[in-house]
Structure 1
Amino acid sequence: MKDHLMRIASQFALEGAIRSIDPLGGGFINDTFIIRTEGEAPDYILQRKNKNIFPDVPAMMENIRKVSEHIARRVAAEGGDPAREAMTVVPTRDGALCHCDEQGEFWAVCVFIADTVAYDKADSEALAEKGGEGIGRFQALLSDFSEPLAETIKGFHNIRHRFEQWDEALKRDAAGRVASLGEEIGWIESRREETMAFWRLVEEGTIPTRVTHNDTKISNILFDRAGRVLCVIDLDTVMNSTSLNDFGDAIRSYCNTGAEDDPELDRVELSLPMFRAYTRGYLSQRARQLVQAEIDHLAFSARYITYEQVLRFLMDYIDGDTYYKTTSPDHNLVRTRAQYKLLQSMERQYDAMCAVVRELAEEYK
């Protein structure tokens, strides 16, 4: 394996001699390694991109290049350090953005940003606020981005597409589970129209399409040693969609008092203080750039994304657990119920969530 990695790394235009290549992290999608170099040369991140999730890796890497270079230009214009505040894609020696090996696997390299801090979970309101600031700044730096981006994952966060998949899954009933899921299926169907109404606002342009990250967990934000937001990383899912998707998905992960697959539903609630903290950080960067329709639907986006996740977990359970990794026969059903409990908590606290958004939007405008 080490020799294979050395051969892969040698295809890229790296500075300095390679000292070592070691696994980094435990990602669920890509295989990630850190390349350590000799002397003053930078270190690098080497990744095997998952072509099952991303069927067009070259197009994905072109998205990453465009977005990273735009952010770097904006950071430089503001007097910042683009080498630390933007990702830098490293091309192959022949100028390509990725390398395809003899097994047909795709590999890509970016510069490793040294002396940074990352977190697996936002466990305080202060950190939640910083997370909101990080994603808000990422979107703000791309507010004037106008180049086309490829759709790297078809129908991502597109509820019309998800309903088409859902209806087909119910008809197939591949695992013979539909008959026992009347209550859970009712959860989905009773909210179908309100989520489609939201999505129609995106389709017709009332809620504008912008550049979105689409994986806004806090582990994708790098901080400096002083706690300042440096850079948003892991740009594989960067696409065009509504900014609200990034906000809603962050709220789903940051503000849940329980686990995504918590079997003890009493532990699962939306933390309103964490919601306020994240929203404060986000709107400190974005309030002046969002149109009123985005402000008006910011709180609803958390319900929308959480609902979509209920649907996707239940759909995978109906299909026989073919998409998400599971650790027990009913794991996807446990996930479904936990996310539904979170959705119910959001619905109960929705008026308070909207009030928080209105207050902070006015403060930062």
Structure 2
Amino acid sequence: MNLNHETERRLRRVAEQFSLEGDIESIRSLGDGFINDTLLVRTAGTAPDYILQRKNKSIFPDVPAMMENIRKVTDHIRRGVVARGGDPMREVMTVVPTRDGRLYFVDEEGEYWAVTIFIADTVAYNRADTPELARKGGEGIGKFQAQLADFTEPLAETIQGFHNIRYRFGQWDAVLAADPAGRKASVAEEIGWVESRRREMLSFWELVEQGVLPTRVTHNDTKINNVLFDARGEVLCAIDLDTVMNSTCLNDFGDAIRTYANTGAEDDADLSQVGLSPEMFRAYTDGFLSQRAAQLEQAEIDYLAFSARYITYEQVLRFLMDYIDGDRYYRVKSADHNLVRTRAQYKLLQSMEEQYNEMCAIVKEVAAKYR
């Protein structure tokens, strides 16, 4: 999308605060992200192009801490890439500092901006529609985690309580007690779905709290368009690292399965279309464990399949909670959109529960191949 003259001029002033090589030729919108505003900055001659982003301070209240997280993990990955003779300009994101050495710039309106080098000649996908591509997506996230397996620096919590079901239940109980939109009585059955699994999900999270499931570096946004591929289809690197934090690595796996292996849409009104595809589950699992099986503890392998149920359950809870709360968090297209999402995710959860023994068998078989 082309920008009007005044907008482009304002964005040029922002971009010029960063240590860019070459003169800026143009700036245009890139992609359709829901959280950050993303722009492509084209430069003259042989200088690299750049990605300019306005970071959403409503979602990420501490952008400086978020950028420091990104710096830490990309520096660590870069050292590993260099040590094995790889290309650090293509195999890891490169954060570009401002002219005074900071990782971000704050404009006159208080908005936060950051810049990374644009990695040219790459391929990205918005959806994994084949098992082959699902496997590659799993390989990409597995590779990212593997590159950070020996990372020991502290990371800030950029989004409070992310995938922490104990924290989510605190929010849930408060919303049920308040019933601000007067919708609670109409969704008694759906509330029952959530409550009937509360103990089971808390028991899983207790394993994280107790250290039975270790805390590692996690990406926390594992959709396939956050993995870049080269022209041959090989994984280059993971991108969009705003949500990098410490948690169980199973969160990344579970959230990926929720999207990769769903035969329907996240908000599918036709529940007959929704379910878990064992073929896509196997493919993603194979790609992920090809990079991670040798590094994971047995407890992590044992709960890998359950993590898909856990994350999908959390999404059922969050969509239903937002519906009861009057649609204050998620963007909705209709008055019942969050309820449609709730029911679609619950159908996926039921499908996972029905096929859980098969999922566990697949994980066991694939893990044995790589361990």
Pairwise TM-score range, normalised by the shorter structure: over 0.9
2 CA distance for matches of 1:145 and 1:69? 10
1:15 CA drift (Å)? 0.5
CA distance in 1, matches of 2:284, 2:354: 19
Query: Which among 354, 359, 363 is matched to residue 360 of structure 2?
Result: 354
Match of 1:99 among 99, 105, 111: 105
Shift of the alpha carbon at 1:53?
0.1
Equivalent residue number for residue 38 of structure 1: 44
Aligned residue type for 2:318? R
Q: CA deviation at 1:10?
A: 0.6
Output one character per residue of 1:16-75: Cα deviation in whole Å (capped at 9) or x when no partner: 110001100010000000000000100000000000000000100000011011111111
What secondary structure is seen at the aligned counterpart in 1 of 2:90?
A: helix
Aligned partner of residue 149 in structure 2, secondary structure: coil
Aligned-residue offset at 1:174: 0.5
CA distance in structure 2 between the partners assigned to 1:296 and 1:226 by the alignment: 34
Deviations 1:300-346 (A, max 9, x none): 00000000000000000000000000000000000000000000000
Paired with 1:7 and 1:83, the residues of 2 have a C-alpha distance of: 26
Query: In structure 2, what is the equivalent of residue 86 of structure 1?
Result: 92
What residue in structure 1 maps to residue 3 of structure 2? none
Matching residue of 1:190: 196
TM-score (norm 2): 0.98
Which of 187, 206, 218 is the matching residue for 2:224?
Answer: 218
3-state SS in 2 of match to 1:225: coil
Partner of 1:68: 74
Over 6 Å off, 4+ runs: none
Aligned to 2:135: 129
- For 1:1-365, list aligned pairs within 5 A: 1-365=7-371
1:180 CA drift (Å): 1.0
Counterpart CA distance in 1 for 2:56 and 2:297 is 36
Q: Size of the alignment, in residue pairs? A: 365
1:98 and 1:82 map into 2 onto residues whose CA distance is 21
* Structure-2 separation of matches of 1:295 and 1:147: 25
Q: Which amino acid aligns with 2:241?
A: L
How far apart in 2 are the matches of 1:229 and 1:221?
Answer: 7
1: CA distance between counterparts of 2:240 and 2:311?
A: 20
Paired letter, 2:341: R
Question: Matched residue of 1:35: which SS?
Answer: strand
Shift of 1:76: 1.2
Question: What is the CA–CA distance in structure 2 between the aligned matches of 1:236 and 1:168, rounded to whole Å?
Answer: 28
Cα deviation code 1:192-234 (max 9, x no counterpart):
0010000000001000000000000000000000000001000
- SS, match of residue 42 in structure 2: strand
| Runs of 5+ consecutive residues of structure 1 not aligned to the other structure | none
Q: How far apart in 2 are the matches of 1:87 and 1:43?
A: 13
What amino acid maps onto 1:88 in structure 2? T
**Structure 2: gaps spanning 5 or more residues:** 1-6
The alpha carbon displacement at 1:3 in A equals 1.1
Amino acid at match of 2:88: P
Using the size of structure 1 for normalisation, the TM-score is 1.00
